[in-house]
Amino acid sequence: IESKDTNLLITDLFEKLLNEYQQNLPYAQRIIRSYIVALLFTLQRIHSERKPLNGSSKNIGLIKEFDRLVNEHFLTHRSVKDYAKMLHITPNHLNAVCTKVYGHSAGEHIRNRVMVEAKRLLVNMPGVTVAEIAYQLNFDDNAYFSRFFKKYAGETPEKFRKRRLSKEQI
């Protein structure tokens, strides 16, 4: 499975799971269970297709620390260079390890974390403007945030919010 296809599949499953959880309709628990099973099998498939890592325990430790740092600092640090410096390695080495483990670059991993947070805020804070969300995500310019979001989500923040909120009302 291609990395982008895998990311889209996993994101789609998580969005469906979250949507089902928020709606709390009849049979929701069974549907949620099904999405979790599908997610687990998808992750198992990805894991089985991955090539074993060289020095894997060292790489896994590095990736765990990178994940922790990204979750802690993604609002203020968006460059691979920043994280490489925190980890005392070169940006090239960080990218190489991320590509081996995740199937995508460190920069893409950081952007994905920003996108998850942006989507979460857009859906869970419908009364907050896109400009305010851009500010919360530490974007200096609302227009830049909108371009960033559209580039990586394929639609504007406004369209994403409208689509997700209309799904929740069905």
Percent of the chain topping pLDDT 70: 92
Task: Judge whether 9 and 17 are in contact, CB under 8 Å.
Answer: no
Instruction: Return the closest-CA partner of residue 7 out of 146, 108, 97, 148.
Output: 108
pLDDT in tens, 103-149: 899 999 999 999 999 999 999 999 999 999 999 999 999 999 999 99
Q: How confident is the model at residue 55 (pLDDT cuts 50, 70, 90)?
A: very low
Instruction: Return the closest-CA partner of residue 99 out of 166, 137, 51, 134.
Output: 51
Average pLDDT, stretch 26-42? Answer: 89
Evaluate if residue 165 carries a pLDDT over 50.
yes
pTM across the whole model: 0.68
Average pLDDT, stretch 4-30? Answer: 86
Q: If 0-12 CB within 10 Å is exposed, 13-18 middle and 19+ buried, where does residue 44 land?
A: exposed
pLDDT in tens, 67-116: 999 999 999 999 999 999 999 999 999 999 999 888 899 999 999 999 99
